[in-house]
């Protein structure tokens, strides 16, 4: 029976989810690193304010975040209308909406892990880079990021996992269009509503396999960056 289900299964939710997860992870990776680096340079009061704003999606219900995104990008609103009329960019009910929603929800995980990792970097490494005449950008990418890589790798893992399983904000902003914006999370919810628990179990198994492979690969990558350290 399971073999028959696999043969007749529509694999488009897997493709959409993976595509969305990878795109959102790439976006969050660079924005999270840059935001963490900028926030660390701020005075304590402004740092607390910026940290609270950037971490807000972490504590907001995904549907609430999706509602704010819908207000921002709707074609009936100034910004959404500007994007559509001047740049022909449609966010609502599109795959771009999936990526934006997943990026907003997953961003705090990348940002907070990156910031925590940067705070553990030995400042003497940065001073040494400046002494050698390296630019601040080069110090950041060649010294700070490699030194903080284990924490950054952990943030990347969490970001991809969160983006892969995003449901609430994506449903609000991008909807559930089969083959276009329909993700695995939405597919699981839909088949459960239809009472097809066997198909739901198959999709859950697919998610578990993907999550395990990603965790394994990223943990191996993080381990390479710290193999020179003495561990318990």
pLDDT tens for each residue of 98-108: 999 999 999 99
Q: In this structure, what token pair is assigned to residue 86?
A: 């001047």
Answer yes or no: are the C-beta atoms of 32 and 107 closer than 8 Å.
Answer: yes
Neighbours of 201 (CB within 10 A): 15
Kindly report the backbone phi and psi dihedral angles of residue 165, in degrees, each rounded to the nearest multiple of 5, phi listed first: -100, 10
The per-residue pLDDT for range 33-90, each reduced to its tens digit, is 999 999 998 998 899 999 999 999 999 999 999 999 999 999 888 999 999 999 999 9
Q: What is the pTM of this model?
A: 0.89
**Per-residue pLDDT reduced to its tens digit, 111-156:** 999 999 999 999 999 999 999 999 999 999 999 999 998 889 889 8
* List of domains in the chain: 2-225 (1.10.3720.10)
Residue of 165, 198, 157, 160 whose CA lies nearest to 13? 165
Residue 222: the pLDDT is 63
Q: How confident is the model at residue 221 (pLDDT cuts 50, 70, 90)?
A: low
């Amino acid at each position: 029976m399971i073999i028959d289900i696999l043969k007749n299964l529509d694999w488009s939710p897997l493709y959409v989810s993976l595509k969305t997860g990878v795109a959102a992870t790439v976006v969050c990776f660079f924005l999270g690193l840059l935001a963490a680096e900028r926030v660390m340079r701020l005075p304590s009061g402004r740092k607390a304010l910026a940290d609270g704003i950037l971490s807000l999606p972490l504590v907001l219900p995904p549907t609430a975040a999706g509602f704010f995104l819908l207000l921002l990008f709707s074609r009936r609103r100034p910004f959404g209308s500007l994007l559509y009329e001047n740049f022909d960019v449609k966010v609502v009910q599109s795959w771009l909406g999936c990526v934006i929603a997943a990026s907003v929800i997953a961003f705090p995980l990348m940002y907070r892990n990156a910031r925590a990792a940067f705070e553990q970097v030995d400042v003497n490494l940065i001073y040494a880079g400046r002494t050698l005449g390296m630019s601040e950008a080069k110090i950041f990418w060649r010294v700070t990021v490699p030194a903080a890589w284990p924490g950054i790798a952990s943030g990347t893992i969490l970001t991809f996992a969160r983006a892969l399983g995003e449901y609430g904000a994506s449903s609000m902003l991008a909807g559930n269009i089969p083959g276009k914006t329909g993700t695995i999370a939405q597919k699981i919810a839909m088949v459960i509503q239809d009472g097809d628990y066997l198909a739901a179990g198959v999709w859950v198994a697919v998610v578990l396999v993907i999550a395990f492979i990603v965790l394994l690969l990223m943990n191996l990558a993080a381990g390479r960056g710290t193999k020179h350290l003495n561990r318990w």
